[in-house]
Every structure is written in structure tokens, then in C-alpha cells.
């Protein structure tokens, strides 16, 4: 596992420490949670871009998809 060193002001260090303690997590856990949130934000942006892509074909309803693949929707 890699180690990252981060230069912060005393005020920023206090903010990070206080927040992690208030939420019963280590600073490492806090940073990992922030990274997860960044990844979620990237996923969201990608999804929005794909939704808004004029070349994207909409898939239709579940019934339409079942019919397209020869599946009897009412038997599902």
C-alpha cells in the first residue's frame, strides 16, 4: 500500500482531525471516503454524458426489451 504525504496548514489539520474524530473514523478512512466520493462524482458525470449523447439509443421499457429478445414478459 502506498503512503501519501500532504502539506496542510495547522487550521486544515485541525479541521481534518476534528472531522474524523467526530465521525469515529481515522484520517485514512476519511481520505478514502473522499476518494470514493470523487469516483462517484466521475461515474455520475459519465452517466449524464451518456444520457445526453444524441447518438445513444434509448432501450425502452422492460416489456419492449423482453419482446425484442423473444421473451414473454407476462411469464417473468
pLDDT for the residue 1: 85
Residue 9 phi/psi, 5-degree rounding, is: -75, 165
Alpha carbons 31 and 12: distance in angstroms, whole number? 13
Dist CA 69 CA 15 (whole Å): 55
Residue 16 confidence (pLDDT) above 80? yes
pTM here? 0.68
pLDDT of residue 39: 99
- What integer best gives the mean pLDDT of the chain? 94
Structural domain boundaries of the chain?
10-67
The pLDDT tens digits of the residues spanning 36-56 come to 999 999 999 999 999 899 888
Provide the pLDDT for residue 60: 83
Amino acid at each position: 500500500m502506498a503512503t501519501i504525504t500532504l502539506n496542510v496548514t495547522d487550521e486544515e489539520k485541525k479541521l481534518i482531525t476534528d472531522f474524523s474524530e467526530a465521525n469515529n473514523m481515522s484520517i485514512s478512512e476519511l481520505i478514502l471516503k473522499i476518494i470514493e466520493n470523487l469516483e462517484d462524482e466521475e461515474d455520475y458525470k459519465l452517466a449524464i454524458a451518456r444520457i445526453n449523447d444524441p447518438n445513444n439509443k434509448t432501450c425502452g421499457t422492460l416489456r419492449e426489451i423482453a419482446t425484442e429478445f423473444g421473451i414473454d414478459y407476462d411469464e417473468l
